[in-house]
A = this chain, B = another copy of it.
């Protein structure tokens, strides 16, 4: 066999001749609940980092695209059939996993509250609250959770991505059911941005965008004046 260094051109390169990184996908599964971002995590029961919390992930097979691998992990490890999935960033530091060299492609999945609740009931994953800056993950009692590997950095990049895109994209709707109130939409924006927003300005901006359709119906079970329900025009999201 011809001797070719790793730096040589791809043409004529024998992929079996050298050690190569493995490729995985990791999923950041987020929902917006009560004006706070929540993420689904798995508790590690094996070394290394036993007791730490990790993102659901898995290897990318040779005959599987990255997007397909992300969808498969969502199905097999989280028990969810469909979600708004988009590629986030690829993490490839040499020592990010002590077991072997792994390059992981992180995906962002945006869930509705009832999707996250169903996944939690299935029992494989647990929701944590994402708070503060820099980001921390907390359990229901407000105790900080230790995150495995570089997963805290991955969660931070996910939140930054949301913050950068929520103003001009449709991603907020992926957190909401088909019909929702303007207050619920504003709650999503506030959860993502970590700030409070001006209500009249928010209403004007959303309505002027022409993307929302009033249904004429109103929310039920409110102990006060019920708000109107809207939906997204077309099949956006």
Contact = CB atoms under 8 A, between A and B. Distances in A.
Interface of A: 6-11, 13, 15, 18-24, 46, 57-67, 72, 76, 87, 89-90, 92-94, 97, 99-103, 105
A46 B216 CA distance: 64
Contact of A59 (B13, B58, B67): B13
Contacts of A19: 62
A191 B103 CA distance: 34
A23 B62 contact: no
A23 B100 contact: no
Contact of A22 (B20, B61, B100): B20
Given A10-B24, A10-B99, A90 B105 contact: yes
A151 to B, nearest CB: 13
B60 A21 contact: yes
B7 A15 contact: no
B22 A15 contact: yes
A65 B92 contact: yes
B18 A62 contact: yes
B46 A66 contact: no
Nearest to A92: B66
